Structure 1
């Protein structure tokens, strides 16, 4: 007994249904297993503060906005904070938030997200002012502190 010959539209319809079923099954398996590892899980963030000690800020009250002056004019809101990996490749960037007068000078908080995990060490540098080299665990804990000025 010979099997009936299927037309091209029927074959395409069966293929479409089977393809949709396989895709849905894969989605269900991934969903039930906790999902695929997202790129956000392969990265981490850090935070810190750059303090610009400057005696010319003595006229400001605590908490008032401030910015770098004279030779420190690059230290201001939006100045780039870079993270490089062990091989010196730029891996993530952030920027300084606005500065506020504090006891030790003008403090600029910053946060950097999207740092890929797994390097032996990382170097964090604000503007062109030299970097701090840290392990991944040290960066993950945050609290980096940079100090410039007198």
Structure 2
């Protein structure tokens, strides 16, 4: 066997060993969960939750989940449902959202609603499916 073949074989073995030791090809997939919640739009200007009447949100708007400043999963706003909050608030539109594939173990996440702002929330709240936010109370709202 030539010296060149021996050197190439040694390099190949070292590369495979390094990848295996670092978890290269056999990495365990990270555990994930589905984030779900409700977005309340108080800007209703009619009797239905259509884009003409609910000025803040609309079906299909993007929802991002961020952890440590990086987007880790994306989903979208579902159809709005009219809810009576009388006597104080009258009718509002409530939009469900669901984002699949959110990695566990990050502690706190930011829910980023397209064109509306962000809200920091714990993993426990996101997993519960009961997370609700009034869109007028989002942080970093566009001017």
Fold in common (TM above 0.5): yes
Structure 1 residue 144 corresponds to structure 2 residue 125: no
Query: 1:2-30, CA deviations, whole angstroms, 9 ceiling, x for partnerless residues?
Result: xxxxxxxxxxxxxxxxxxxxxxxxxxxxx
Consecutive unaligned residues of structure 2, counting only runs of 5 or more, are: 1-26, 86-91, 137-143
The number of aligned residues is 105
Matches of 2:82 and 2:134 in 1, distance apart? 14
Could you list the runs of 5+ residues in structure 1 that have no partner in the other structure?
1-36
Relative to structure 1, is the Cα distance of residues 48 and 71 closer, same or farther in structure 2, using a 3 angstrom cutoff? closer
**1 or 2, which has the higher strand percentage?**
2
Which residue of 2 is the match for residue 111 of structure 1?
98
Runs of 4+ aligned residues of structure 1 deviating over 2 Å after TM superposition are 67-73
* Partners of 2:54 and 2:93 within 8 A in 1: no
Structure 1 CA distance for aligned equivalents of residues 50 and 133 of structure 2: 15
Provide the C-alpha distance between the structure 1 equivalents of 2:122 and 2:83, rounded to a whole number of angstroms.
29
Q: RMSD across aligned C-alpha pairs, in angstroms?
A: 2.6
Structure 1 position 111, deviation (Å): 0.7
TM-score of the pair, normalised by structure 2:
0.62
Query: Which one has the largest radius of gyration?
Result: 1
Residue 127 in 1 paired to residue 127 in 2? no
Is 1:102 matched with 2:91?
A: no
Picking from 92, 97, 106, the partner of 2:73 is 92
Q: Report the secondary structure of 1:139's partner residue.
A: helix
Instruction: Go from structure 1 to structure 2 and tell me whether the alpha carbon gap of 1:69 and 1:148 turns closer, same or farther (over 3 Å shift).
Output: farther
Give the Cα–Cα distance (whole angstroms) in 1 for the partners of residues 43 and 66 of structure 2: 28
Q: What is the TM-score with the length of structure 1 in the denominator?
A: 0.60
Q: Is the 8 A contact 2:36 2:96 kept in 1?
A: yes
Q: 1:119 to 1:70 in 2, by over 3 A?
A: same
